[in-house]
Structure 1
Amino acid sequence: MIKEWDLLQNILVFNGEGNAWFVLDYSSEPPHVIYIEADSKEVIKVAASFEEFLKKLTYKELSQEYEKDSWSKEEAETIFLGQEEFLIEEVLLSYQDTEDIEWYLAKLLQLTEHSSLLVREAVASVIGVKTEYFLYESPEPSLKILNGIINNLSRDKSKDIRREMKEVKEQYDL
């Protein structure tokens, strides 16, 4: 993995997903905990030691807003304009079976430009799973929006998102 992603040497990956990881950097003593985002080559020092990292971990009760099972479209639109990426992802996924496909696709299109990689990955995941449904169940204007989403994500700075959209295009001949 270190060679594949051209990562720093002397590291031990202990948590991660996709192309971003928390690692122990053994180039210093004690090893620092750093966060690496491979696509952007971003490296952030999180803690001077693993012990310090553990001390910084906290448990946070979910707010009532996170505990909701459903949100109105107005609430969802407000959430989509924000920066709470986990809440955006949760609301995004809760609406994936909505009957208002055109509204949902318009929101997905909007979120393809979100600054958060997690949000854009969530959009790509929905497209990867639901493209067939959208192709056969959407009114004609929605198909243009779907193509816009796929085109935007095909130009994303994340290599994983671009690869996923390439697979969607090939699978559905888009």
Structure 2
Amino acid sequence: MKQFWANQSDDPYTLKKISEKDILKTEKKLGVKLPQEYKNLVLEQNGGYLECNAFPTDRPTSWAEDHIQFDHLLGIGKKEGILESDYLIKEWGLPKDIILISGDGHSWVALDYRNTIENPPVHFFDLETEEDFKIADSFNEFISKLYIDDSDDSEPDLEGLDPEDYELTYISPDDPDAITKDEVNRIFEKNNEELFSNLKLFPIQNYDDLIWLLKKIETHTNSTNDVDGALELGLVLDTVATYKKNLILENKESLETFKSIISNLNRLNDSDVEIIVNQLEDFIE
């Protein structure tokens, strides 16, 4: 049998080792039977990057004319694992009763349990083209057709690049989609979960902007019991932390406020919120 796992060091998709008992608990929680081939693989290594990186398709996708990318397989776990599926399904508007096994937000590969609880086919979901189609009748067939595609050489060479030499660009006040403090206040006053995602459009130009927004989120999460709204605010905080991590960590007040928001979200005791909380906690470890 050819090598399946790439065995990379510091692989973000490789989770802690699991047992057959852990798999049984997972199947009970999900209410489905996982493919035996999948279970064999995650017992060997619980998720990770693969030796192969592509799967052939008979139709063009947003990825390529004749294949999709498949360079990692999600293991069993809440973060970067298949137990994150429910949260990601809600976040990306995917159908229920599927289990995501790989993806990046714009496209996903999933075990499709919409019409069965065992032996699921494998489906590809392309959010850019709004397509959902079967790519294999079984997981075993799917992994048997994986191959190495080396045709894409468009990725930039980042060797030797110091992270301090570049900075992620946050939304600018000049951006036509940017919102003002007054608009932020109105969003919180309306208390509409569908509007909370727009808070990502508030331009944070300095520390005063950052702490002002964090305090707004802290106040709201301290008093709300609305799980959906709290989840949206958690996603906003995740975006802010991605772009402004150093600014948060370098100042005691912002760091304590960030921790306070995490505590407020934890109070809701919701499995979906717990996933985003785990991601937020990673920023301050």
TM-score interval for Structure 1 and Structure 2 normalised by the shorter chain: 0.5 to 0.7
> Whole-Å Cα distance in 2 between the matches of residues 161 and 21 of structure 1?
18
69, 82, 86: which one aligns with 2:190: 82
Q: Secondary structure at the match of 1:157?
A: coil
Closer, same or farther: CA 4–134 of 1 in aligned 2, 3 Å: same
> Whole-Å Cα distance in 2 between the matches of residues 96 and 160 of structure 1?
27
> Whole-Å Cα distance in 1 between the matches of residues 236 and 196 of structure 2?
13
Q: Secondary structure at the match of 1:151?
A: helix
Residue 29 of structure 2 aligns with which residue?
A: 4
Residue 153 of structure 1 aligns with which residue?
A: 265
Q: Secondary structure at the match of 1:164?
A: helix
Residue 120 of structure 1 aligns with which residue?
A: 230
Q: CA deviation at 1:162?
A: 1.8
Q: CA deviation at 1:119?
A: 2.4
- The 5 A counterparts of 1:1-174 are 3-5=28-30, 17=90, 69-90=177-198, 92-95=199-202, 97-99=204-206, 100-112=209-221, 113-131=223-241, 133-138=243-248, 139-170=251-282, 172-173=284-285
> Whole-Å Cα distance in 2 between the matches of residues 4 and 85 of structure 1?
28
Number of equivalenced pairs: 120
Contact 2:234 2:276 (C-alpha < 8 Å) held by counterparts: yes
Q: Which runs of 5+ in 2 are unaligned?
A: 1-25, 33-88, 97-175
> Whole-Å Cα distance in 2 between the matches of residues 101 and 2 of structure 1?
42
Q: Which runs of 5+ in 1 are unaligned?
A: 8-15, 24-67
> Whole-Å Cα distance in 2 between the matches of residues 96 and 146 of structure 1?
18
> Whole-Å Cα distance in 2 between the matches of residues 131 and 22 of structure 1?
29
Any runs of at least 4 consecutive aligned residues in structure 1 with deviations exceeding 4 A, and if so which? Answer: 20-23, 132-135
Closer, same or farther: CA 72–96 of 1 in aligned 2, 3 Å: closer
When the two structures are superposed, what TM-score results if normalisation uses the length of structure 1? 0.52
Amino acid across the alignment from 2:202: Y
Q: Secondary structure at the match of 1:81?
A: helix
> Whole-Å Cα distance in 1 between the matches of residues 231 and 203 of structure 2?
15
> Whole-Å Cα distance in 2 between the matches of residues 84 and 77 of structure 1?
12
Pair member with larger Rg: 2
